[in-house]
Amino acid sequence: LTDEKWIRAYPVPYANQLNVILKAPQSGPASLQVLDITGRILNTVSWQTRQGEYYFQTLQPSPAGPGLQVLVYRDTQQQKIIKILKR
Protein backbone atom coordinates (compact mmCIF):
# COMPACT_ATOMS: atom_id res chain seq x y z
CA LEU A 1 0.00 0.00 0.00
CA THR A 2 1.37 3.38 -0.94
CA ASP A 3 -0.04 6.31 0.96
CA GLU A 4 0.63 9.88 -0.03
CA LYS A 5 -2.29 11.24 2.08
CA TRP A 6 -4.60 12.03 -0.85
CA ILE A 7 -3.62 9.18 -3.20
CA ARG A 8 -3.23 5.46 -2.51
CA ALA A 9 -2.23 2.56 -4.76
CA TYR A 10 -2.65 -1.09 -3.81
CA PRO A 11 -1.75 -3.90 -3.73
CA VAL A 12 1.98 -3.30 -3.90
CA PRO A 13 3.47 -5.42 -5.32
CA TYR A 14 0.65 -5.98 -7.82
CA ALA A 15 0.09 -8.73 -10.36
CA ASN A 16 -3.45 -8.79 -11.79
CA GLN A 17 -4.49 -5.16 -11.34
CA LEU A 18 -3.42 -1.98 -9.59
CA ASN A 19 -6.11 -0.09 -7.71
CA VAL A 20 -5.77 3.64 -7.14
CA ILE A 21 -8.00 5.74 -4.92
CA LEU A 22 -7.55 9.47 -4.65
CA LYS A 23 -9.21 12.64 -3.43
CA ALA A 24 -8.98 15.19 -6.24
CA PRO A 25 -6.88 18.19 -5.20
CA GLN A 26 -8.71 20.40 -7.75
CA SER A 27 -11.24 20.27 -10.57
CA GLY A 28 -10.25 19.63 -14.17
CA PRO A 29 -8.53 17.05 -16.34
CA ALA A 30 -6.42 14.42 -14.57
CA SER A 31 -4.52 11.33 -15.61
CA LEU A 32 -2.76 8.30 -14.19
CA GLN A 33 0.10 6.65 -16.03
CA VAL A 34 2.18 3.59 -15.26
CA LEU A 35 5.72 3.79 -16.64
CA ASP A 36 8.58 1.34 -16.63
CA ILE A 37 11.97 2.43 -15.31
CA THR A 38 13.02 3.62 -18.78
CA GLY A 39 10.04 6.00 -18.96
CA ARG A 40 8.03 3.92 -21.44
CA ILE A 41 4.27 4.37 -20.91
CA LEU A 42 2.64 1.06 -20.01
CA ASN A 43 -0.88 2.19 -19.13
CA THR A 44 -2.85 5.46 -19.11
CA VAL A 45 -6.27 6.53 -17.89
CA SER A 46 -7.64 10.09 -18.09
CA TRP A 47 -10.80 11.67 -16.71
CA GLN A 48 -12.34 14.91 -15.40
CA THR A 49 -12.19 15.51 -11.64
CA ARG A 50 -14.07 17.73 -9.23
CA GLN A 51 -12.15 19.11 -6.28
CA GLY A 52 -12.63 17.18 -3.06
CA GLU A 53 -14.35 14.19 -4.66
CA TYR A 54 -12.97 10.66 -4.37
CA TYR A 55 -12.10 8.59 -7.44
CA PHE A 56 -11.29 4.91 -7.80
CA GLN A 57 -9.37 3.67 -10.85
CA THR A 58 -8.31 0.13 -11.72
CA LEU A 59 -5.31 -0.24 -14.00
CA GLN A 60 -4.77 -3.55 -15.77
CA PRO A 61 -1.25 -4.95 -15.84
CA SER A 62 0.92 -4.21 -18.80
CA PRO A 63 2.70 -6.90 -20.80
CA ALA A 64 5.95 -5.75 -19.18
CA GLY A 65 7.58 -8.24 -16.88
CA PRO A 66 7.99 -7.93 -13.14
CA GLY A 67 9.99 -5.12 -11.62
CA LEU A 68 9.97 -1.53 -10.49
CA GLN A 69 7.45 0.76 -12.16
CA VAL A 70 6.27 4.32 -11.57
CA LEU A 71 2.71 5.55 -11.10
CA VAL A 72 2.30 9.18 -12.17
CA TYR A 73 -0.73 11.31 -11.29
CA ARG A 74 -1.07 14.57 -13.23
CA ASP A 75 -3.58 17.38 -13.22
CA THR A 76 -3.41 20.98 -14.38
CA GLN A 77 -1.44 22.13 -11.33
CA GLN A 78 0.66 19.24 -10.11
CA GLN A 79 2.32 15.92 -10.70
CA LYS A 80 2.80 13.13 -8.13
CA ILE A 81 5.17 10.19 -8.70
CA ILE A 82 4.86 6.97 -6.71
CA LYS A 83 7.13 3.94 -7.02
CA ILE A 84 5.26 0.64 -7.42
CA LEU A 85 6.34 -2.94 -7.92
CA LYS A 86 4.91 -5.47 -10.35
CA ARG A 87 5.40 -9.13 -9.56
> Does the model's pTM come out above 0.85?
yes
d(C-alpha 1, C-alpha 14), whole Å: 10
User: What is the reported pLDDT for 3?
Assistant: 53
User: What is the reported pLDDT for 45?
Assistant: 96
d(C-alpha 80, C-alpha 84), whole Å: 13
What value does the mean pLDDT take over residues 9-36?
94
> Residues 6 or more apart from 25 whose CB is under 8 A from it?
6, 51, 75, 77, 78
Tell me the pLDDT band of 68, cut-offs 50, 70 and 90. Answer: very high
